Amino acid sequence: MSSSPRPRLCYVVSSAMTVQAFLKDHIAAAAECYDVSVVANTDDGEFLHRLGLAATLHPVGIVRRISAWRDLSALLALVRLFRAERFTIVHSVSPKAGLLAMLSTRIAGVPHRVHTFTGQVWVTRCGWRRRLLKLADRGLAALTTRALVDSPSQRDFLLAERVLAADKSAVIGKGSICGVDSVRFRPDEAARNVLRVDLGIAPSVPVLLFLGRLNRDKGVLDLAAAFVRVASRFPEAQLLLVGPDEEGMASAIDNVCAAVRDRVHLIDFTHQPERFMAAADVFCLPSYREGFGMVVIEAAAAGLPAVASRIYGVTDAVVDGQTGLLHPPGDVAAIAEKLTELLSAPDRCKAMGERARLRAQTDFSQAASSQGLMVFYAKILAS
């Protein structure tokens, strides 16, 4: 008698980069007991193979920005795909991919429709834009059979805002979309020395690091203004701002930091964030909105304490007073105060970094995150 076929699982994302950054280990774990496919907006037919993943790629043109014609074309392509492939579970990540995937799976009759919420753009919007984007999230949630949220405090927020229902939503473990690789992200003295030599920074100089997209929602101008205050007290301190400049922030940062511009390093997108974390002493995330703040946990695994905004998501990533210090979002004086507090006490700063690394390894390991997701899939199939 032949064995029953394996369940068919499909991940839907708008960018191949999302697979590499967040889903690689989940796909590898799922491939042991599912036939796995990936839908992504890519012309690179070999990227899954290069990542060593046993999954089938289905290219579909899902774009991040709203485009009526391209979005309709993507929706129709997804409906055709899901009707033909008859997946058991479809799991989407990112808002646009999620809305298109959940609508098309509903039309195609996919039995298990899962979306992961990783943050809400509408939190920092006002008026009709906020209402429209929030309505889109409510519609997305209504189309799912189960929703995942990448932090407990974000789930609480979405429940309070009546976007999610308690009985249809869950968090894997203590949060994060994928956990952290504590072998890749770790204290690394050799990498620290090499990068500091490349940047012309002496070994003993205190270095503050922001790593992420450079835009206003990330609070980079607040951090720049706070650094100007901190720099007057710590004349050797340096600030690294690493990430793609999405809103032309470089000139604004130059204006804010004119008096200390030679101590501010603007560096474009990197495929090796761990090198910059190894070279830094304090990680900064002055964001106005985050789903979880995964980058904080990666920095924690590298032994860095964080100075970050007290907002939902980040409050799950930072234990205030133990693994970092929290400040009100948008409060330049408070950011400067918290940075000064850590830079004035190097031993305390180091101890916080050690506690942050231990917590990252204990509560947010990559293996535990993938195992938790596989248990989640098994439960929804059993139900």
Whose structure tokens read 């600030």?
239
What does the alpha-carbon distance between residue 253 and residue 270 come to, in Å, rounded to a whole number? 19
Instruction: State how far the Cα of 141 lies from the Cα of 148, in Å rounded to an integer.
Output: 10
CA distance 146 to 265: 43
Asked if 146 contacts 301 with a C-beta cutoff of 8 angstroms, the reply is no
pLDDT digit string, tens, across residues 303-332: 999 999 999 999 999 999 999 999 999 999
pLDDT at res. 2: 44
**Alpha-carbon gap, residue 55 to 14, rounded angstroms:** 17
Please give the pLDDT value at position 138.
Answer: 97
Distance between CA atoms of 228 and 264, rounded to whole angstroms?
10
* pLDDT tens digits for range 360-372: 999 999 999 999 9
3-class secondary-structure state, position 82: helix
pLDDT digits (tens, 9 = 90+) for 325-357: 999 999 999 999 999 999 999 999 999 999 999
Is the CB of residue 301 less than 8 Å from the CB of residue 214? no
CA distance 41 to 229: 44
User: What is the reported pLDDT for 1?
Assistant: 41
**245 three-class SS:** strand
Residue 66 has a pLDDT of: 84
Q: Give the pLDDT band of residue 5 (cuts 50, 70, 90).
A: confident
Residue whose tokens read 């496919």: 37
Does residue 82 carry a pLDDT above 50?
A: yes
Q: Write out pLDDT tens, residues 237-285.
A: 999 999 999 899 999 999 999 999 999 999 998 989 999 999 999 999 9
Q: Please give the biggest Cα pair distance in the chain.
A: 77
Report percent pLDDT > 90 for the chain: 96
Give me the amino acid identity at 2.
S
CA-based radius of gyration for the chain: 21
Average pLDDT over residues 17-44: 96
> Is there a contact between 309 and 331 (Cβ–Cβ < 8 Å)?
no
